Amino acid sequence: MIAMDNVLHGSSVSVGDNLSGNSPLIERLTQIASSIYEIVVCRNNRWPLQVENLELPWCKADAALLPTMKEAVDILADIATEQASQRLFTVLNINEELRVQEPVPPERPFPCKVSSNAFTAAPKSVHELRPQDISVVATLGDSLVTGYGALADNFVGLFLKNQQVSWAIGGDQDWRSVTTIPNLLRKFNPDLIGFAVEGSEAHFGMGEARSHDENLLSQAEKLVAKMKRDPRVDFKQHWKMVTILSGQNDICSGDPCFPSPKAAALEHKKNLRKVLDYLQANLPRTFVNLLPVMDVTASWQIEKSFLCAVMSVIECRCLYGPGGVDNVKKMKAIVDAFHVAEYDLISSGRYETKDDFTVMIQPFTSSLEPPKTRNILGLDLADLSFFSVDCFHLSQKGHAAFATMQWNNLLQSVGNKTMDFIMPMQEIACPSENVPYFFTNVNSKLYQNIGRQ
Given 212, 238, 339, 393, the catalytic residue: 393
Strand 380-382 relative to strand 372-374: parallel, antiparallel, unpaired?
antiparallel
How many other β-carbons are positioned within 10 Å of the β-carbon of residue 343? 15
3-state SS string for 131-171: HHHEEEEEEEECHHHHCECCCCCCCHHHHCECHHHCCCCEC
Given 135, 143, 211, 305, the catalytic residue: 143
Closest CA to 136 of 196, 213, 179: 196
DSSP string, 337-358: HHHHHHHHHHHTTTT-SSTTEE
Closest CA to 47 of 65, 37, 60: 60
For 38, counting Cβ atoms within 10 Å of its Cβ (0-12 exposed, 13-18 middle, 19+ buried), the class is middle
How many other β-carbons are positioned within 10 Å of the β-carbon of residue 33? 19
Assess whether 9 carries a catalytic annotation.
no
Assess whether 203 carries a catalytic annotation.
no
Q: In whole angstroms, how large is the CA radius of gyration of the chain? A: 22
Number of C-alpha atoms within 13 angstroms, CB side, residue 256? 7
Instruction: Report which secondary-structure segment, H or E, holds 97.
Output: none
Q: How many residues does the chain have?
A: 453
Assess whether 143 carries a catalytic annotation.
yes
Strand 286-291 relative to strand 239-245: parallel, antiparallel, unpaired?
parallel
Counting DSSP H helices and E strands in the chain, the numbers are 15, 8
Closest CA to 396 of 165, 159, 141, 207: 165
As a whole number of angstroms, the distance between CA 36 and CA 214 comes to: 25
Given 142, 172, 250, 390, the catalytic residue: 250
Number of C-alpha atoms within 13 angstroms, CB side, residue 8? 17
Number of C-alpha atoms within 13 angstroms, CB side, residue 333? 12
Catalytic residues: 143, 250, 393
